[in-house]
Chain A
């Protein structure tokens, strides 16, 4: 009797998790294996695929645009530390019991709920060379703003500014949640020891926020390697930008797969992205304990 009850619970449990297991098999692992096989073929949808061994990977590592796209993808990540520093400062400000701090929180979070597509469209106008808000604001300081999106050197800077603007509020809310977990007694003890404001930040606030910083850096990296929407909407030539100055890994992969139907080649790129993700996950698991202050 007891045994059959247990058996019954087991089968019901499997039934309950079945949808997620199906999703795992059909839409995650299955496709990954399939794309692994595809990456060794020259398949272009129209013609029959034939195996080409490691040719796609060989060509990929000699493809200048691929390296450029990887370089750009990493370059955009300057936005991560910039955003986190600003977010931490905001959170420290928001953590003070001042009037209207709730309203500030809501305002800073607003760009985070708007879609990337809408924000990209909005910023394409803000960054307009002659009539955009950014260059108009710069003109108050006597600076003649560049053609942000039409210029090889400025396009990445423009996109980074936009990403920081969009993301800083959400990060600061995370930091704020972290700050509220810091015991007040630590500051009181430090004050008795004669610690200054900066000392308290350096020795209490900052170290206790490292788990949150670590979390935000990891999520930032994961998001950073998938950069697509902003670039494809804001950069010319379907996301390339002038002289491939804006193109990212996923944008290039998208172009190869859905504009040129080079499915094998694009799958090789997908696997490179997958391996990068694996490395980030590995770092996360391996080093979390070492880096993160407990």
Chain B
């Protein structure tokens, strides 16, 4: 009684696939632990007293104790910091998304002399990083007496984002001109076409870019570092970093980690809620494998 060789082959193949699955699964789990354990580590640190944080081997499951989370608000104006960060981020993404997509529309669908040249010229600025222009910008804003205010962080960015313009334009290129021609015949203005036809069609691309941009502004450190000095005017990242520099001398790690955790949590929640957009935004980058 010999088993059917075909079935045997099928079985062994399945077994080897399962074996590969098992190995892949184990490695991915290991990788996830490497990512997650540091987050857990700071979380349990926040539950401890400074002395308990220095006990080795560490207590991996300390008694829940949220006293550090109440303490941080008394020790630094973190709420003001969050407000300041919102004061920077919201005007930028609201106005900037509008200006960026308006320009994207012009570059994608309107005809005018110098279109390609101007587009490439703007695109080239992506390669000029902020540190290259930060010194002259600082000098310029100090002439305007804008130093130690949020204005230098808001005004330039409000004019738009070349990155965002580029991706939205890519998307708009894919929309047929017929929609526009038809709307023109119906007597719609170009601005009306932009608002009523183009913008709704590229909404997912805009949303994805908007979230990424918000994240970039929220997480920015170098810009605020240069311009802001009064504690009450600082953005949340800067406030947290200064808080760290101050309390690290006293080795109050639980307090520092509570502050870092408070800063990270809202972003992680935004990410978990909108993670679809984060992954989708990659599909809009136009980078093909």
Contact = CB atoms under 8 A, between A and B. Distances in A.
Chain B binds chain A: yes
A294 to B, nearest CB: 10
Nearest to A37: B136
A10 B31 contact: no
Interface in A83-135: 89-90, 93-94, 96, 98, 101, 104-111, 113-118, 120-126, 128, 130-131, 133
Using C-beta atoms within 8 Å of the partner chain, give the interface range for chain B. Answer: 35 or more
A277 B279 contact: no
A177 B133 contact: no
B135 A270 contact: yes
B45 A125 contact: yes
Which of A23, A106, A108, A169 has the largest number of chain B CB atoms within 10 A? A23
A32 interface: yes
Given A178-B289, A277-B132, A12 B110 contact: yes
Contacts of B37: 133
A277 B240 contact: no
Contact of B160 (A19, A34, A113, A175): A19
Nearest to A280: B127
A1 B54 CA distance: 81
B47 interface: no
B110 A110 contact: no
A122 B127 contact: no
A245 interface: no
Interface stretch (A50-58, A59-67, A150-158, A206-214): A206-214
Nearest to A34: B136
Using C-beta atoms within 8 Å of the partner chain, give the interface range for chain A. Answer: 35 or more
A180 B289 contact: yes
Which of A27, A121, A169 has the largest number of chain B CB atoms within 10 A? A121
Nearest to A227: B131
Given A125-B256, A267-B136, A108 B32 contact: yes
Q: Is the interface of A mostly helix, strand, loop or mixed?
A: helix
Contacts of A128: 253
B36 A136 contact: no
Nearest to A197: B20
Given A20-B122, A173-B279, A115 B264 contact: yes
A81 interface: no
A124 B248 contact: yes
Contacts of B100: 20
A21 B136 contact: no
B170 to A, nearest CB: 15
B107 interface: yes
A270 B278 contact: no
B244 A93 contact: no
